[in-house]
Amino acid sequence: MPSPGSARSGLGLLLGTAAGLGFLYALYRQRWKRTQRHGQNQLLPNSLDVTQTSEPRRQVRPLRAAPGEAGDAAVLPSLPPEGQEMVLDRLDFVLANLVALRREVEELHQGGEQRKREGFQLLLNNKLAYGSRQDFLWRLARAYSDMCELAEEVSEKKSYAQNGKEEAEAALEKGDQSADCHQWYAVLCGQLAEHEGIQKRIQSGFSFKEHVDKALALQPENPMAHFLLGRWCYQVAHLSWLEKKTASALFESPPSATVEDALQSFLKAEELQPGFSKAGRVYISKCYRELGKNSEARQWVKLAMELPDVTSEDSAFQKDLEELEVILGHYPHFSGLHDLRNSTT
């Protein structure tokens, strides 16, 4: 795996260019379009629109950024071949660098506490270079969510959730067709809501549902989005009287959902990716129990016990699992207790 230093080593070169990353990306898009018109499929330098000759130095055609394709980049001024070659070399470098950065961040996000912290720091160190990109911003928002989970102090948790939500908002401002942007915005809304009063919690819950729905519309086979929807349904189904009154005062059509709705969403996540979440399996057991289906509930308690704790939510549900074991009589060593109760009735 490339080191964090390797993902940052070329940033000084990029910051020294007149138009920055947007300028380079404009060139990349134009060259990609040219290769497509010529029936070429590769995106690496060997397939770009470059005239090869027998001379040692490659010859580069003059390029201009096409209007409407360059975003914030200015139209490329006329450059001598040597200057164009330098720009193209930098473009190739930054494209490879960004791919390496994405891969390393994904690997760090999937790791333990220390690796998640390293991934968060890696993203912060690269924000100046890539902070204008939507795919970078939602990953940074996700890293803030990870840090919120890892933090122990309430003030730290709230700060990470607030900053992460702002990064997710910045990502959504660049377009609303990314399921990841909507998903992580929803997650951070939920994390921030834990530190807010009842009215803001209800409002955040409404926003949470809106963005989970958008994520599912864009990516229907996403198990995490179905899990998030299940959590929302379960929590709405268990709103207190005061929370229901507050929701009715805030919204013309207050949110509503049933335990059955929650169950179907959790089962869908499990169907799409078996073992996706230990917490999800605990929720399934709780739903079945509340619906009076104890046999199914016992089965899902056993399945939940087979999975390791991955998130803080998984760990937090250990007490729920233990209570379900007792209530449902999941293990034989509880049978004596049930026999004693039966003998006294």
pLDDT at 226 over 60: yes
pLDDT at 324 over 70: yes
Average pLDDT over residues 194-203: 91
Determine contact, residues 263/300, Cβ cutoff 8 Å: no
Determine contact, residues 234/264, Cβ cutoff 8 Å: no
Q: Which of 42-46, 217-221, 240-244 has the highest mean pLDDT?
A: 217-221
Higher pLDDT pick, 119 / 28 = 119
- C-alpha 259, offset from chain centre: 26
User: How far is Cα 23 from Cα 34, in angstroms, rounded to an integer?
Assistant: 17
| Predicted pLDDT at 311 | 79
162-171 burial code (b ≥16 CB/10 A, e <16): ebbbebbebb
- Is the dihedral angle over the CA atoms 92, 98, 104, 110 positive or is it negative? negative
46-50, 79-83, 327-331: least confident range: 46-50
How far, in Å, are 8, 17, 19, 24, 94 from residue 12 at the CA level? Answer: 8, 9, 13, 14, 11
Give the rounded percent of residues in the chain with a pLDDT score beyond 90. Answer: 49
Place of tokens 């409404």: 206
pLDDT at 285 over 80: yes
Sequence-ordered list of residues with C-beta below 8 angstroms from that of 51, at least 6 positions apart, any chain: 58, 59, 60, 61
Sequence-ordered list of residues with C-beta below 8 angstroms from that of 342, at least 6 positions apart, any chain: none
User: How far is Cα 140 from Cα 7, in angstroms, rounded to an integer?
Assistant: 15
Tokens representing residue 62 in the block: 């003059």
pLDDT at 42 over 70: no
| Predicted pLDDT at 304 | 93
| Predicted pLDDT at 84 | 58
Average pLDDT over residues 265-289: 95
97-111, 211-225, 241-255, 261-275: least confident range: 97-111
Q: 92-219: which CATH architecture?
A: Alpha Horseshoe (1.25)
- Is the dihedral angle over the CA atoms 202, 203, 207, 210 positive or is it negative? positive
pLDDT classification of 89: cutoffs 50, 70, 90: low
Higher pLDDT pick, 5 / 205 = 205
Place of tokens 């549900």: 317
Determine contact, residues 189/211, Cβ cutoff 8 Å: yes
- C-alpha 109, offset from chain centre: 10
How far, in Å, are 160, 197, 225, 232 from residue 222 at the CA level? Answer: 25, 31, 6, 16
pLDDT at 69 over 70: no
Determine contact, residues 38/49, Cβ cutoff 8 Å: yes
Q: Which of 18-27, 53-62, 103-112 has the highest mean pLDDT?
A: 103-112
- Other CB atoms within a 10 A radius of the CB of residue 283 amount to 28
Higher pLDDT pick, 37 / 251 = 251
